[in-house]
Every structure is written in C-alpha cells, then in structure tokens.
Amino acid sequence: MRRFLSHILPTGLKRIRHYGVLASACKGVQLTAARQSLHMPQPSVQAMECARDFMARVAKIDVHLCPCCKVGRLHITAVLQGPARLPAPARTMMPSSRGPP
C-alpha cells in the first residue's frame, strides 16, 4: 500500500516531466545514452509500427473496413485543420481532490 501511495501527489502539486531524461528537447539522445549505460537492447521494430498495422497484427481488425456493413472500405476525403495542440483544460473541470469519491 505504501508503494502505491508513494505515486500519488498531494493536492496542489504538479508532476514535472519537462526536465531530465524524458525532456522532449533531448529525449532521443538521452534515452539512447541511458539504454547504452544500462546495457539494454534497442527498441524493437514492432514497437515502431503504425496503429493500422498493430491492429491488423494483434486484434486481427482491418481499421479501413466499414464498421456498419463490414464490406465497404473507408477512404479519407478531407483532413480537418485544427489546433496543433489541445487547449489546456479549465480549472473547473479538474477535480478538487485526487482521492476516491
């Protein structure tokens, strides 16, 4: 129980992921160096596959097949331009406490 609760932050504290090995600016270089120093194997090619190939290999699902009739094929006709990132959630949407209801 103590090990589980050590991962829960008190209300008002924020987990920082912008520094260290997982910083997005140098993640690739630092993760490669960390893998080499820990004598870990390189990531497998299967981990780099796209979602369509993953679903075909693991779940045996063709994602381009029509979900209604299971016969027709889905085709991309347009790509909607949206914001590069999602907007930050409003503070009213966030729960006031991190404990169970």
For residues 57 and 55, give the distance between their C-alpha atoms in angstroms, rounded to a whole number: 5
**Exposure class string for 69-92: b at 16+ Cβ within 10 A, else e:** eeeeeeeeeeeeeeeeeeeeeeee
Query: In the numeric block, which tokens belong to residue 3?
Result: 């090990």
The predicted-structure confidence for 1-12, as pLDDT tens digits, reads as follows 777 777 777 777
For residues 41 and 32, give the distance between their C-alpha atoms in angstroms, rounded to a whole number: 10
- Inform me whether the pLDDT recorded for 98 exceeds 80: no
Q: What ranges do the domains of the chain cover?
A: 6-59
The predicted-structure confidence for 52-90, as pLDDT tens digits, reads as follows 888 888 888 888 888 888 888 888 888 777 776 666 666
Contact, 74 vs 64, CB < 8 A? yes
